[in-house]
Every structure is written in C-alpha cells, then in structure tokens.
Chains A and B, each alone.
Chain A
Amino acid sequence: QQQVKQSPQSLIVQKGGISIINCAYENTAFDYFPWYQQFPGKGPALLIAIRPDVSEKKEGRFTISFNKSAKQFSLHIMDSQPGDSATYFCAAGAFNAGKSTFGDGTTLTVKP
C-alpha cells in the first residue's frame, strides 16, 4: 500500500515559470511533511518542511501549501531556474518518529 502518492512523474518548465508538484497521503498519523531535492549521483537534501498547524510555508522561491482536510500538500517553485533541475521527493511521517515515507519522485527540467 503506497501511503504517499506524488505527481507528476516528470515536469518541464521554462526558466522563470512556476513549477508545481503535488503529493497526497493516506495515514492521518502523519504530522511532518518534508520535501527533498536530489541531484544525479547525490543523496537527497532537505529543501523545506511543514507541519499541519500551518497551511503554507515559504522559504525563498520555495513554498509548501498544505491542505489537511484533503490530505494533500504541494511544492511550488517560483521563478524556476535551470539550476533547479533535479528530482524532488515529497515525504511524510510522524514528527516524533524517525522514518519517512517517500513519494516516487518528480524529475524537474527547467529549460533556459
């Protein structure tokens, strides 16, 4: 049973555009939702994370929107740059636990 569903699988955006990646979760015990960025040959790196007590969190060009009733959250990358081209993973877990459940990833390509 896949507990975190991520879409789209791949995304192509023009430089300066907005990239939007969506995730949905099933386990209502999840209360921590991080996004990771992974470049080829590297490990994932935490990009931004949110807890369900807020509906939005912004850090620079990256924004997480969270809809608790729909059990959905999304990553918005504003003014997308070629250097943002990477694979993005959403994840979910319990804040007081250690492990995360990951989505299958979205490969983002930002065209110059």
Chain B
Amino acid sequence: AQSVTQLGSHVSVSEGALVLLRCNYSSSVPPYLFWYVQYPNQGLQLLLKYTSAATLVKGINGFEAEFKKSETSFHLTKPSAHMSDAAEYFCAVSPQGNTGKLIFGQGTTLQVKP
C-alpha cells in the first residue's frame, strides 16, 4: 500500500532563512505527489503538484519541490521564509490513474521566528 512519511513534525526557521520540509513516499510506481498548506481553522490549499512532467515543480508563494525517484522523495523548499508561511504543511500521494483518494502524511508544522 502506498504511504507518505514526513520527517519532522515541527520545523522552526528564522525569517529569511531557507525552508526545507521533507517528504518520502512508498510506491511501486511513481505516483502523483502534492503539497498542501493548512492555516489555522481553514481547509487545505494546494501549493504544488507533480504529475510525471518536470521533476522540479514550482508552486505558489515561492515554494518548489523536486521529485527524486531514486530517493522516493518530494521535499518542499523555499529560499527565504516569511512570517506568513507559518502553517501546517501536508505531503500527499495519489495512485496513478486515481482522481480521488489522496493519502496524506502526518503533517509538518512550520514555525517562522522573527
């Protein structure tokens, strides 16, 4: 069965520092991969998605992620953290050919210190 592991339930960075949120997946074939962000008391918003095109995916708000098949990873990065980036981040996988079921990781809380 497919699964997603997010390394680090809490990540703290200083404003202006690099953001790196880690995500590893398990799948026999490369799945579709997503990063979502959740602000307090809100639903999830899509940051970016990988669907077997370019391995480096650019998303909203300056975030990007690189798909590495050899490492089964899809880490999320942002060169310079902003206070408004503080939120919960979820990595998710969807089996190829499936339009519905998303399998989410446990989430990583990003704290941005001034």
Is B a genuine binding partner of A?
no
Residues of B with Cβ closer than 8 Å to A? Answer: none
